[in-house]
A = this chain, B = another copy of it.
Amino acid sequence: MSLLVVGSVAFDAVKTPYGQVDRILGGAATYFSLAASFFTQVRIVAVVGEDFSGKEEQVFHDRHIDISGIVREKGKSFFWAGKYGENVNEAETLDTQLGVFAAFNPQIPDHYKDTEYLFLANIDPVLQVNVRSQMPKARFVGGDTMNFWINGHRQNVDAMLRNVDALLINDTEAKLLARDASLPRAAQKILKMGPQALVIKHGEYGATVFFQDGAFGIGRHPFRAPTLPIEVVTDPTGAGDSFAGGFMGYIAAQGKLTRDVFKRAMFYGGVMGSFAVEAFGTERLQKLKREEIDERYKIFRELTHIE
């Protein structure tokens, strides 16, 4: 089944203890779509500027991602510069230039409107709700958000929460959203705000999915997926979006929502996140082969399963 992602396609400058790069392809929708493309047909709605060239287009074409929904406007693409220190879970933002992204008002092309799986990457929650309303055929909708929206646009975030089936956020965002320092308690509070499933990403400790009672008819027991203990995290940028891409991509490819599908999706999310951080930007995802994903999935199983 096709999967549509709406979010940022951008350029990043990143500095980590392992080096630095200038103006490489980035953005949540980019990482998401590359990761998801190993599982299913992916479509993107985004806006870019005149600096988005054939070179960048080729990255998507190589992974058979449909970018006919990427609109090109006069001006520059969204640009983010940040650096990571010893703590790979937190980036320090050095520069943000919204460019054409400031006026982003996503319109879903007609030929995308039959898409049954939808991911609302981290953008203004008003736009997320607007996109959802343009997609009446969507069967399963995932969404992301961040502290900026939770702190300053809470009512809009609340509306978004009622419009997604699964919310994918990290520990800090979950505690902020629920105003509760206990993660398990925060999870239960967030499930009451709308989403049937809540995926909390714990960085190097993996991720947990919590369910509403009776969600998707599969029961409410949570499920935890690991990450790989990685000694060299070259560039953490995009790990969370790559997780979301693996998670949503695997679900879209199955076409049904069983408990087992959710569990495997959590594992594939972790697998894709673990690849993303091995090189700067999207380099590792660009070079990745499907066999490598299967191999790492086995390592994730070995890391957690008692036979």
A residues at B contact (CB < 8 Å):
86-88, 181-185, 187-188, 202, 204-206, 208, 210, 221-224, 226, 229-233, 260, 263-264, 267, 299, 301-307
A231 near B185: Cβ-Cβ < 8 Å: yes
A264 near B184: Cβ-Cβ < 8 Å: no
CA distance A223 to B305 in the complex (A): 8
* 6 closest A-B pairs by CB: A184-B229, A86-B181, A205-B205, A185-B231, A184-B231, A263-B306
A267 near B306: Cβ-Cβ < 8 Å: yes
Give 6 A-B contacts (CB < 8 Å), ordered by A residue.
Answer: A86-B182, A182-B232, A208-B229, A223-B304, A301-B306, A304-B304
B224 near A304: Cβ-Cβ < 8 Å: yes
| B-chain residues with CB within 8 Å of residue A264 when the two chains form the complex | 306
Of the candidates B88, B231, B304, the one whose C-beta lies within 8 Å of that of A305 is: B304
CA distance A188 to B230 in the complex (A): 11
| Given A184-B231, A208-B229, 16 more pairs with CB closer than 8 A | A87-B181, A88-B182, A183-B229, A185-B232, A187-B229, A205-B206, A210-B229, A221-B299, A221-B303, A224-B226, A224-B303, A224-B304, A267-B306, A301-B306, A304-B304, A305-B306
A204 near B223: Cβ-Cβ < 8 Å: no
| B-chain residues with CB within 8 Å of residue A305 when the two chains form the complex | 304-306
Most buried by B among A184, A229, A306: A306
How many copies the complex holds: the figure is 2
| B-chain residues with CB within 8 Å of residue A232 when the two chains form the complex | 182, 185
| B-chain residues with CB within 8 Å of residue A226 when the two chains form the complex | 224
Most buried by B among A181, A187, A264: A181
CA distance A230 to B299 in the complex (A): 28
Give chain B nearest CB distance to A47 CB in angstroms: 37
CA distance A263 to B303 in the complex (A): 9
Give chain B nearest CB distance to A257 CB in angstroms: 15
Give chain B nearest CB distance to A263 CB in angstroms: 5
A188 near B260: Cβ-Cβ < 8 Å: no
Give chain B nearest CB distance to A41 CB in angstroms: 25
CA distance A299 to B221 in the complex (A): 9
Most buried by B among A182, A267, A303: A182
| B-chain residues with CB within 8 Å of residue A208 when the two chains form the complex | 229
B229 near A260: Cβ-Cβ < 8 Å: no
CA distance A183 to B231 in the complex (A): 8
B87 near A303: Cβ-Cβ < 8 Å: no
| B-chain residues with CB within 8 Å of residue A187 when the two chains form the complex | 229
CA distance A188 to B229 in the complex (A): 11
CA distance A187 to B202 in the complex (A): 19
**Chain B residue at minimal CB-CB distance from A182:** B231
B302 near A221: Cβ-Cβ < 8 Å: yes
| B-chain residues with CB within 8 Å of residue A87 when the two chains form the complex | 181
